Amino acid sequence: MTQTQEFSGKDVDIAIKNACAALTLSKDELEYDVISEGTSGIFGIVGRKDAKIRVALPDMYTDKSKEIEMEGIKSIVDEAFGQETRLEEPKKEEPKKEEFKSFEAPEPVDVSEDSVTLGTEALQRMADLITDDADVNASTEADRLTLSIEGGNAGILIGRKGQTLDAMQFLTDKIINRKSEARVRVKVDIEGYMETRKANLKHLAYKMADKAKKTGRPATINQMSAQDRRIVHLALKDNDNVRTQSMGDGYYRRLVIFPKKKNAFRGKRRFRK
């Protein structure tokens, strides 16, 4: 279970500041629920009650809890793959510098009931290790399986920059497709978060492309998952002014937006009198 700690203050904003100071986190990194917004009382003195928030403690404060959760997830993977799985740091890949290339999608095949059941059960068990009262619902469309998590603590399930959600999707995809005869495209969503993130990433892509075009210099977006990079690649693939390229190694890489040569480093025009 995720460990929490309560913080209080004159109002919610002050309670958040107190939590940030105590945990040395920024407001954007803080995952919290408001328990009470507090009351001012009579003349701000008599009967006044502080606001109170419940904060989900980050990894550095919950190492023991995380070990328990990882053991639970390990057992899910072990059971699905029928072998002992070592939870260790992934091996570093050789540095890669690759441009995004579109491809022809394989002919869609219907998602089998076995895949739906396997994915739903695996994801439900992961969610139960992280939060209470979360339910997984499945929907299918051709070769796509969407698993939506509703209820529970959405902030904890999504994680910082969506990393917990990404991890659950990665594991669910591997578990399903190991036992599926045809490739199933798996999408895990939490209360519409994926659509919101997709919209935000497209907005960022257009903004950075415009910057690259205007300055004539590459614009870099750091630490992006493969799924997020794909969203940016696709958003800009028909843009005649820029090209996109993934750079670096590992799962989280940089995505660089290069201006096309015709727009790069243009000198001042000279006019003859």
Q: For 110-162, what is each residue's pLDDT tens digit?
A: 788 888 999 999 999 999 988 889 999 999 987 789 999 999 888 889 887 78
Q: Which residue has the higher pLDDT, 26 or 172?
A: 172
Whether the Cβ atoms of residue 172 and residue 187 lie closer than 8 Å to each other:
no
**88-97, 155-164, 201-210, 258-267: which is most confident:** 201-210
From the list 197, 209, 199, the residue with the least C-alpha distance to 239 is: 209
- Numbered ranges of CATH 3.30.1370.50 in the chain: 195-263
> Which one has a higher pLDDT value, 173 or 61?
173
- 180: pLDDT strictly greater than 90: no
pLDDT band at 49 (very low <50, low <70, confident <90, very high): confident
Residues across the chain: 273
Helix (H) or strand (E) holding 149: strand 144-151
pTM above 0.75, yes or no: no
- The CATH topology of domain 63-84+108-191 is GMP Synthetase; Chain A, domain 3 (3.30.300)
Residues 6+ apart with CB under 8 A from 127: 134, 136, 149, 152, 157, 168
The token pair at 43 is: 């003349």
Locate CATH 3.30.300.20 in the chain. 63-84+108-191
* pLDDT in the model for residue 146: 92
**Contact (Cβ atoms closer than 8 angstroms) between residue 253 and residue 98:** no
Query: What are 231-242's pLDDT values in tens digits?
Result: 999 999 999 999
The pLDDT value given to residue 103: 43
Q: Is 90 exceeded by the pLDDT of residue 218? A: yes
d(CA 265, CA 262): 9
CA dist 163 and 251 (Å) reads 11
Question: Is the pLDDT higher at 232 or at 270?
Answer: 232
Q: Is the pLDDT of residue 174 over 80?
A: yes
Domain at 195-263, CATH homologous superfamily? R3H-like domain (3.30.1370.50)
Q: Is the pLDDT of residue 190 over 50?
A: yes
pLDDT score, position 239: 92
Residue 87 pLDDT > 70: no
Q: Among all chains, which residue has been given the structure tokens 């630490």? A: 223
Q: What is the pLDDT of residue 79?
A: 54
Look at residue 253 in the predicted model and tell me its pLDDT.
Answer: 83
Copy the structure tokens of residue 124: 């439900």
Checking if the pLDDT of 177 tops 90, the result is no
Tell me which amino acid residue 12 is: V
